[in-house]
Structure 1
Amino acid sequence: MFRTRFYLYFLCVAVSMLAFTCVREYPATAPYTPPTTPTNPGNLPPQTQPVAQNRLFIGNDKIRLAIDLNMGGAINYLSEAGSSENMVNNYDWGRQLQTALYGGPFPYSVNGKDPVYFWRNLGWNPVQTGDYYNHPARIVSYQQGQNSLYVKTIPLIWPLFDEPADCFMEHWIELQGNTAHVKIRSTINRADTAQYDGRTQEMPCVYLNAPWYRMVTYTGTQPFTNGPVTEISKLEMLSHYTTENWTALLNDEGRGVGLYQPNQFRFKTNGFGSGHVGKEFDVTSYYMNADPFLQIDHNGVYEFEYTLILGTLADIRQYAYAQPRPETVPNFKFTKDRQGWFYYNVTDKGWPIQNELNVNWQRADTSKANFRVCSPFVYWKPTDVPKIYIQAAFTTKATTARIVWRKPEDYDFLDGPDRQIDFPIVGDGKFRTYEVNLSGHSGWSGLINQICLLNPQNNLEKGSNMRLKSVTVAPVQ
């Protein structure tokens, strides 16, 4: 997440802590000190830190990594073994290598606190490191092993003044050769029980220093064939359909950090500041993230994982190629979670998910044209998916439902005859398996990267319901 700051903080430069092994409760960190007005607003910030470091290091013969207990346990140090140059940018509390969540409403105010105006549309935005004012998030507990770290954090709401989020985050980090594998669990306990539209998350966001300016990924249609990669030059917040499930930030020598996430086809890149020279407290930084949509419930529990790969582009790609390949056909069975599906202008019965998605089959806001029950990004060749089988029970006066699909070149769902198909349904509330034949449709071609379900008969939507058990390429037995 790009965190433009209007203030700079001038506090003491601190001493990094040496690694040690411990398990104990850790209290909240240093008290807040008001910011000072910068004397050089047109220049890069000085090489000082907002608060003292409290880093826990782990390392092997390939990697050295640290989390900082004064920065919510976020990763704020990463280097190749034998190098003392930290790759991670620490210009403010929105950088680092960390997790950030996004939900409604927006703007989000609580406990008499309103958001910073510039960030008012971020909504409910827990950030692992801390907030816009450089308050650090609270550490609940941590554990350190020889090659592993665990930290439990109460994040802060980024645009609010020192406001703990109504959730906690847990991170498990383990070094394996030239990789760091990270598991994330976010547990939500919001008093606001409303269900808001699904939004993209930062799972994680990665900010590296200026020398790692080359933003590289694979966006082709023939993944895992060693095809040519794409190097992104635009310094904009751009989303990429990445069919090999990785993206990377590299330096002039072609070395850097790759970010791999299983079954993830949506990543973002960006760059902030200018130039290719700078250190960890300079404003210039280059960015990548894993950018999945997530439907966040007031009481949900969500787990993700990712791997950081240090080395060359060949090293990064070799790691990705060695992992289990993502599904290439629909195989969604909603037994205990939403399988990455999310909603626009529609709600379901909430968490926990128990063998089905129980969806209110009608628009939440009737001033909007429609609603969508959306899949995550996928990689499907239409020749491999001639039919889709939908196991569902509809309670509705409507007699048809609709599948809409996207292709990589589409900026969003483009409703129209070449991107959709209607199929008949029975609205008596009984489970049936609906076979949708797509093989003869002229628009079912090229590559499919997302689908959604909707009700094309909005005049018959009132009181409607859909209980969805599965969306698959073959009937579920």
Structure 2
Amino acid sequence: MHFLFFISPKMRKSLPPPFPPKELHRSSRSLLMLLFFLYCISHANAQKNSANSMRYIDNGAIKLGIDLNLGGAITYLSEKGKPNMINNWDWGRQIQMSFYSGPVPYEPDGKKPHKGWTFIGWNPIQSGDVVGNRSRVTGFKQTGNSLYVRCIPMHWPLDNVPGTCTYECWIQLEGNAVKVRSRMINYRPDTTQYPARGQELPAVYTNAPYHRLVTYAGTQPYTYDSVSFIKNHNLPQTPSIQWAAWQATENWAACVNEDGYGLGIWKEGVQRFSGGYYGDSSFKGGSHDVSTGYISPGSIDILDHNISYGYNYVLIVGALDAIRNYAYQQMPQALPSFHFRNSRLQWYYENTKDRGWPIRGCLEITLNPNAALLSPVIFWKATDASRLLIDAQWPASVKKARIYLSRFGVSTFEDHLDVDVQPGRRQYVIPLAHIGHYKGAFNGLKIQPDPDGKSMEQNLLKVYTIALLK
């Protein structure tokens, strides 16, 4: 028996920068037997959910259901008269919230995670844990075609360890779209600022017929250029799973069937996506079968001990053209621009930290040697953006900053430009043409405030705005 047939879908959970890595390989027969046993428990518990715990909303076009026995995770979504599209094989599926932080491994009060999931670290999820303990709903409201749910999540790799945080979701139906607002409020006793980790915003699992993963991943977004079909079929006999990762330059992806019908997700401002299919080649199965499609728009984020972290997304049910047209109606009108008034806006750091949550008007970054700020995955063309604005307050010890760019389709920062800076708050508008071969498309920024590494640790850099300009 191929034990990873049962455990592999859960192995998506590390997601460190820059994209999800290869999943864990089998280590020993005894460990795999343990994991197989735990997954059977989780799967059996998932099958026993009472119909009385379901709450539905229906606007005549689509029907959506959440399970109050599973933290209010979305377990049902269909168009009128069609079957459920959402996979519920175990409590790591559904459409649900899931967050990641340190430490790794996470061992609260000395409690050890199950051996197969020590690499996950801090990971509360909306539905429940691997052993079968359910998240607890603490608030619920239904009004017309909207739902609100609040829960205490469970740490996936541990046995009966609630998260020291609260999850909330607001769900609204509009035609064939589902608008969802999600929020996590942390109240961890551990005040350490752990490094940024990859997040799922959210995790979306579909049934086997919706196995074709479609997106737009090219350099001509919002022009009706040809879509991309992401080939990522993980067979049951494969000893490990690796989800595909790509840059979705129109901010959407979809799992569709052979007729081009299925479920799409659009996430404003996010182009970092991962996904694929796990199962046999029959592409048959329902909500409680193991075969599944997967999509997740994602980010790399620092999750402070006291953070309030929110995100929105939209699910679209229908034909591929309808899913893409929805994204086109939300087309961004401006170049990437970041004003750090009360959020990091998915920027994160190398070799340093900031002063923590809440963000009060700017990022306050400690200047350790080789400290750097990194942007989320973005997209721009050299022909559209000729300048970069940096509004920051520089300490007296810093004389120079280095600006790196990463080219579209490449995850490394190779092209760079040094800029002389002076103490105090200043706005620098930097001509990007001074970077050699500034042509084509780009997908990221990295700013090294002191490339010579001479700043002392007590020095702070305050960053107010970073923006690309025409």
Query: Which TM bucket (shorter chain)?
Result: 0.7 to 0.9
Partner of 2:14: none
Note the alpha carbon deviations across 1:65-90, whole angstroms, 9 max, x for none.
1000011100001111112x211111
Q: Aligned equivalents of 2:303 and 2:296: distance in 1? A: 19
**In 2 relative to 1, CA 181–316 (structure 1 residues): closer, same or farther, beyond 3 Å?**
same
Partner of 1:466: 461
When structure 1 is superposed on structure 2, of 45-54 and 171-180 the one drifting more is 45-54
Partner of 1:347: 353
Confirm or deny: 8 A CA contact 2:367 2:455 kept in the other structure. no
Is 1:409 the counterpart of 2:403 in the alignment?
A: no
1:280 is displaced (CA, Å) by 1.2
Note the alpha carbon deviations across 1:108-155, whole angstroms, 9 max, x for none.
110231112221111111101111112111100101122111100111
Is 1:338 the counterpart of 2:344 in the alignment?
A: yes
Partner of 2:274: 268
1:69-218 matches, cutoff 5 A: 69-83=68-82, 85-218=83-216
1:157 is displaced (CA, Å) by 0.9
Q: Aligned equivalents of 2:419 and 2:467: distance in 1? A: 16
Q: Aligned equivalents of 1:194 and 1:180: distance in 2? A: 36
Give 1:221's match in structure 2, choosing from 219, 226, 243: 219
Give 1:251's match in structure 2, choosing from 253, 257, 260: 257
Partner of 1:318: 325
**In 2 relative to 1, CA 396–134 (structure 1 residues): closer, same or farther, beyond 3 Å?**
farther
Q: Aligned equivalents of 1:371 and 1:459: distance in 2? A: 11
Q: Aligned equivalents of 2:98 and 2:372: distance in 1? A: 25
Q: Aligned equivalents of 1:301 and 1:48: distance in 2? A: 30
Q: Aligned equivalents of 2:391 and 2:114: distance in 1? A: 46
Q: Aligned equivalents of 1:47 and 1:195: distance in 2? A: 35
Is 1:384 the counterpart of 2:384 in the alignment?
A: yes
**In 2 relative to 1, CA 184–52 (structure 1 residues): closer, same or farther, beyond 3 Å?**
same
1:36 is displaced (CA, Å) by 12
1:285 is displaced (CA, Å) by 0.6
Task: Name the SS for the 2:313 alignment partner.
Answer: strand
Partner of 1:451: 445
Confirm or deny: 8 A CA contact 1:198 1:293 kept in the other structure. yes
**Amino acid of the structure 2 residue aligned with 1:279:** G
Partner of 2:436: 442
Q: Aligned equivalents of 2:218 and 2:250: distance in 1? A: 9
Give 1:420's match in structure 2, choosing from 394, 400, 416: 416
Confirm or deny: 8 A CA contact 1:396 1:465 kept in the other structure. no
**Amino acid of the structure 2 residue aligned with 1:354:** R
Partner of 1:431: 425
Partner of 1:60: 59
Q: Aligned equivalents of 1:50 and 1:345: distance in 2? A: 47
**Amino acid of the structure 1 residue aligned with 2:421:** I
Partner of 2:300: 293
Unmatched tracts of structure 2, length 5 or more? 9-33, 234-241
Q: Aligned equivalents of 1:396 and 1:115: distance in 2? A: 47
1:340 is displaced (CA, Å) by 2.1
Note the alpha carbon deviations across 1:247-287, whole angstroms, 9 max, x for none.
00001121100100111111111222223011111111110
Q: Aligned equivalents of 2:277 and 2:284: distance in 1? A: 13
Task: Name the SS for the 1:61 alignment partner.
Answer: coil
**What RMSD, in angstroms, separates the aligned Cα atoms of the two structures?**
2.4
Q: Aligned equivalents of 1:435 and 1:174: distance in 2? A: 42
1:390 is displaced (CA, Å) by 1.0
Is 1:372 the counterpart of 2:372 in the alignment?
A: yes
Q: Which has the higher contact order (CA 8 A, sep 6+)?
A: 2
**In 2 relative to 1, CA 124–47 (structure 1 residues): closer, same or farther, beyond 3 Å?**
closer
Note the alpha carbon deviations across 1:206-235, whole angstroms, 9 max, x for none.
101111100000001111111111111223
Q: Aligned equivalents of 2:164 and 2:6: distance in 1? A: 25
Q: Aligned equivalents of 2:132 and 2:94: distance in 1? A: 13
**Amino acid of the structure 2 residue aligned with 1:68:** D
Count how many residue pairs are aligned between Structure 1 and Structure 2. Answer: 429
Q: Aligned equivalents of 1:206 and 1:344: distance in 2? A: 30
Q: Aligned equivalents of 2:159 and 2:106: distance in 1? A: 12
Confirm or deny: 8 A CA contact 1:60 1:81 kept in the other structure. no
Give the structure-1-normalised TM-score. Answer: 0.85
**Amino acid of the structure 2 residue aligned with 1:104:** G
Task: Name the SS for the 1:111 alignment partner.
Answer: helix
Unmatched tracts of structure 1, length 5 or more? 8-34, 364-369
Give the structure-2-normalised TM-score. Answer: 0.86
Note the alpha carbon deviations across 1:409-458, whole angstroms, 9 max, x for none.
21x233x4xx11111122x4x11112322113224221111101113112
1:327 is displaced (CA, Å) by 3.3
**Amino acid of the structure 1 residue aligned with 2:123:** N
Task: Name the SS for the 1:118 alignment partner.
Answer: helix
Confirm or deny: 8 A CA contact 1:216 1:250 kept in the other structure. yes
Note the alpha carbon deviations across 1:305-332, whole angstroms, 9 max, x for none.
111100000110111111142532x421
**Amino acid of the structure 1 residue aligned with 2:419:** F
Note the alpha carbon deviations across 1:339-382, whole angstroms, 9 max, x for none.
2212233100011111110000115xxxxxx4431111212112
1:170 is displaced (CA, Å) by 0.6
Confirm or deny: 8 A CA contact 2:405 2:416 kept in the other structure. yes
**In 2 relative to 1, CA 306–4 (structure 1 residues): closer, same or farther, beyond 3 Å?**
farther
Q: Aligned equivalents of 1:115 and 1:458: distance in 2? A: 39
**In 2 relative to 1, CA 474–216 (structure 1 residues): closer, same or farther, beyond 3 Å?**
closer
Task: Name the SS for the 2:118 alignment partner.
Answer: helix
Task: Name the SS for the 1:318 alignment partner.
Answer: helix
**Amino acid of the structure 2 residue aligned with 1:348:** D
Q: Aligned equivalents of 1:249 and 1:322: distance in 2? A: 20
Q: Aligned equivalents of 2:469 and 2:231: distance in 1? A: 42
Q: Aligned equivalents of 1:444 and 1:409: distance in 2? A: 15
Which has the larger helix fraction?
Answer: 2
Q: Aligned equivalents of 2:223 and 2:106: distance in 1? A: 46
